[in-house]
């Protein structure tokens, strides 16, 4: 691995982010990344975070049009409440703060505790739980559905609403609507390796894949012999549509898990688009790339979000972050 020692991986990465992005205020010691112009007068603050290893989620989405701050934990480990309270205090302009929380047990408990502590300091806090993964109901890390690719949709669309000056209750309602309108499913072609372990976190024999994998390497719903891109797309789209049943156009995220080249992701996107078209689903916008990753795992995930004109307008609104930018 391209590291010094496992113990400094997250701190080293944060120092690198600070050097590359002077528009961000990076507190390496306390593990908080904040947009440098925060707090922004008249604007609700958006804070998210989670274990490192899923980059660019979440620090890569801090900036105008998305998050106000992010709290990176150790690899695959939740950040601690002190980080979240520090982030909330840094971005609160008196309009309140929304915590965007992926549904993993450690994240949920720590963000809940942080909300209580922040409110004791006079910061009004709301929370939105992202639980879009349709692969499994419970896993090693969760009670209920896991939070995965829809996190990007929630952060982008709620971030645009906040930038427009929407109040906290409205931004919260928008974030919940995006989550409720989104579904995801992931596929692993290889396991990932954490810096601390230095070897694969699970065994996946050559020539096999795992359907419904989680972003920490949690088991999926089924292991099969290797399938073609077309077969994986048909399977994935069918699983999502069984649950989502969209009646209008969708946003489509074709996401790499970290080690899958864009050549393969764009080819897979072609199959996803075909599968959706054959099933009568119109795609309003598509995003392809590595956005919600799992270290060096080869594989992909698909997230669909049904949108109306309002949500689509917020999706198209300008954004300027390290990992996502358009319209500025």
User: What H or E segment, with its residue span, contains residue 182?
Assistant: strand 182-188
Q: In the annotation, is 58 catalytic?
A: no
- Of 326, 266, 327, 310, nearest in space to 158 by CA: 310
CA-nearest of 119, 138, 57, 107 to 128 is 107
The one catalytic residue in 21, 31, 43, 54 is 54
Rounded Cα gap, residues 197 and 59, in angstroms: 24
Q: Please state whether 29 falls in left (phi above 0), alpha (psi between -120 and 50) or beta.
A: alpha
Per the residue annotation, which of 44, 161, 216, 237 is the catalytic one?
216
Sheet (strand 299-306) strand order: 222-225, 208-211, 182-188, 299-306, 250-256, 283-289
216 is known as an active-site residue: yes
Where would I find the H helices in the chain?
Answer: 9-20, 81-91, 105-120, 150-163, 168-180, 229-244, 262-278, 309-316
Residue 160 tokens, joined? 């645009």
**Residues involved in catalysis:** 54, 216
């Amino acid at each position: 691995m391209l590291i010094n020692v496992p113990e400094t991986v997250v701190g080293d990465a944060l120092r690198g982010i600070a050097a590359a992005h002077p528009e961000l205020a990076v507190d390496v010691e306390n593990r908080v990344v904040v947009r440098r112009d925060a707090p922004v007068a008249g604007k609700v603050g958006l804070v998210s975070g989670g274990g490192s290893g899923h980059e660019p989620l979440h620090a890569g989405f801090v900036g105008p049009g998305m998050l106000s701050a992010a709290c990176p934990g150790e690899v695959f480990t939740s950040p601690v409440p002190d980080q979240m309270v520090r982030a909330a205090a840094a971005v609160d302009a008196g309009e309140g703060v929304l915590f965007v929380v992926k549904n993993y047990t450690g994240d949920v408990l720590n963000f809940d505790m942080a909300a209580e502590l922040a409110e004791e300091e006079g910061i009004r806090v709301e929370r939105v739980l992202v639980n879009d993964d349709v692969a499994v109901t419970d896993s090693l890390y969760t009670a209920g559905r896991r939070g995965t690719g829809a996190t990007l949709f929630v952060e982008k669309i709620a971030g645009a609403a906040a930038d427009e000056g929407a109040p906290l209750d409205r931004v919260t309602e928008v974030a919940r609507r995006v989550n409720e309108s989104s579904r995801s499913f992931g596929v692993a072609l290889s396991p990932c390796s954490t810096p601390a372990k230095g070897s694969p976190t699970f065994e996946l024999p050559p020539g096999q894949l795992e359907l419904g994998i989680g972003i920490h390497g949690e088991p999926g719903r089924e292991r099969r012999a290797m399938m073609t891109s077309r077969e994986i797309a048909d399977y994935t789209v069918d699983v999502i549509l069984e649950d989502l049943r969209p009646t209008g156009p969708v946003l489509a995220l074709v996401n790499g898990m970290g080690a899958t080249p864009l050549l393969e992701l764009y080819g897979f996107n072609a199959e996803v688009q075909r599968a959706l078209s054959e099933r009568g689903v119109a795609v309003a916008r598509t995003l392809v790339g590595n956005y919600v990753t799992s270290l060096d795992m080869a594989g992909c995930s698909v997230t669909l979000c049904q949108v109306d004109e309002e949500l689509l307008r917020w999706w198209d609104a300008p954004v300027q972050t390290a990992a996502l930018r358009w319209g500025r």
